[in-house]
Amino acid sequence: MEESSEKPRRRPRYAGRNPRNFQDKYKEHQPEKYPDDIRRIVEGGKTPAGMHRPIMVDEVMHVLALSPGETVVDCTLGYGGHASAMLKAIQPGGYFLGVDADPIELPKTEARLRSLVAPAVSIQLRRMNFAGVSNFLATEAPEGVDAVLVDLGCSSMQLDDPTRGFSFKFEGPLDMRMNPNRGVAASELLTSLSPEELEAMLVENSDEPHANRIATAILRTHRKVKIESTLTLANVVRQQMRGLGEEELDRTVRRVFQSLRIVVNEEFQSLDAFLAQIPYLLKKGGRIAMISFHSGEDRRVKGAFKAGFESGHFSSISKEIIRPTLKEQQSNPRSKSAKLRFAIRSATGL
C-alpha cells in the first residue's frame, strides 16, 4: 500500500465541551446516528444544527385530512418534516409532489424522504419557486391535487448556517438568497437602493417604526465602506438605535433582516403569483393549508382565501387563525409567530 503524504485530519478544535460553530456540530448534522443528543437538544427548546422542526404538524394534518391514494404537493419542503407526515398519510397508492427553491438543502431532503418509503412509492421533487408550481403540476397532476401545503419563510437550516447570511446572530456574508444561484445578495441589493427605497421597504415589509433613521444610517455606511457581512449590518443598526433597550434592539435588527430577506427573495411577488393559482391547482373538494410568519404574508393569504370564498371557488375557509399550542411555543420558540389558515375548494360549481 502506498503511504499517503496527507496528514490525518483532526476533528476541529473548540473551546468547552460542545462545539459552538454550526459546521462543527457534527452530532447534530447526523441525527440518525446520535438520536439521544438530538432528543436532548429538542427537549431543551432548541433546533439542532442542520435540522428544522416542523410547526403545527397535527393541526396541518387535521385540516388537510389526507387519505391513502391521494395526490398532494408540499410547496415548501424544507427539511421535509411536514412532508414525511403527508407522505405516510397518503400510502398506499398516493403520489407525493414536492417543491423547494433551495438547491443546497433539497438533495438532502429528497434522500431523507426516499429513505422513509419503499422504492416503488411515487415521489417527484423539483427545485423551483412555488410561483411556478402550476407548470410542475401541469405534467405531474393535470387533474389537480387533493391537498397543498405551503409553510412560508426560511428553514432553520438556512437561518442557522452562517454561510447563508440570513442570521444577525452569526458572522457571515450578507447574502440571504434561498437559491444562491439566482438574483442578487443582500449586500448587492443595498448598493442599488436609495434611502427612500430602503425606508419604504422597511415599512412595507416589517412595519419598522424607525425606518427613516435606520435606512439613512445603513446607506451612509454602505456608501463609505460596503456592508458585506451580517454582523456589520447588525452593528450599524445597533449603533444607530443604541438608545433602545436590548430586547427592542434585537427586534429592530430582526425586522431589518426580515425586510431585506423578503426583497432579496422576491417573497411577496412569489406569494402573490402562487395565491392567484390556488383554485386551479386543487381538485374539487381539495384542501390547502398555509402557514405564515408575519403580517405581510398573513394579510395576503387571508385576502386570497376570502376572495376565493366570495367567488365560489372555495366552499370553506378558516374563520380564525390557528396558532401553535402554548406547549409547542414553549418547546419550539420558532413556532411563536406562526399562523395557519386553510381553504377547501368547492366540490361542485366553479
User: Using CB under 6 A as the criterion, which residues of the chain lie in contact with ligand SAM when the complex forms?
Assistant: 52, 54, 76, 78-82, 99-102, 105, 129-131, 151, 153-155, 178, 270
Q: Please state the closest distance from residue 154 (CB atom) to ligand SAM, in A.
A: 6
Nearer to ligand SAM, 285 or 333 (CB): 333
Q: Please state the closest distance from residue 225 (CB atom) to ligand SAM, in A.
A: 31
3-state secondary structure of 292: strand
Angstrom CA distances, 48 to 2, 24, 51, 178, 331, stand at: 40, 12, 6, 20, 13
Q: Please state the closest distance from residue 214 (CB atom) to ligand SAM, in A.
A: 25
3-state secondary structure of 204: helix
Q: Please state the closest distance from residue 76 (CB atom) to ligand SAM, in A.
A: 3
Nearer to ligand SAM, 129 or 167 (CB): 129
Nearer to ligand SAM, 12 or 107 (CB): 107
Long-range contact list for 17-22, CB < 8 A, 24+ apart?
21/162, 22/49, 22/50, 22/160, 22/161, 22/162, 22/170
Q: Which three cell numbers stand for residue 300?
A: 395576503
**Helix/strand/coil percent split, the chain, to 5:** 45, 15, 40
Nearer to ligand SAM, 105 or 208 (CB): 105
Q: Please state the closest distance from residue 196 (CB atom) to ligand SAM, in A.
A: 27
Query: Kindly report the CA angle at 276 between 270 and 281, in degrees rounded to 5?
Result: 100
**Nearest residue to 142 (alpha-carbon basis) of 343, 287, 278, 283:** 283
Q: Please state the closest distance from residue 317 (CB atom) to ligand SAM, in A.
A: 21
Nearer to ligand SAM, 204 or 212 (CB): 204
Distance of CA 339 to the CA centre of its chain: 13
Taking each helix axis from N to C end, the angle separating 267-281 and 295-310, rounded to the nearest 10 degrees, works out to 30
Q: Please state the closest distance from residue 88 (CB atom) to ligand SAM, in A.
A: 13
**Cβ–Cβ < 8 Å for 299, 265:** no
Cell 393559482, residue located: 277
Nearer to ligand SAM, 153 or 172 (CB): 153
Nearer to ligand SAM, 70 or 102 (CB): 102
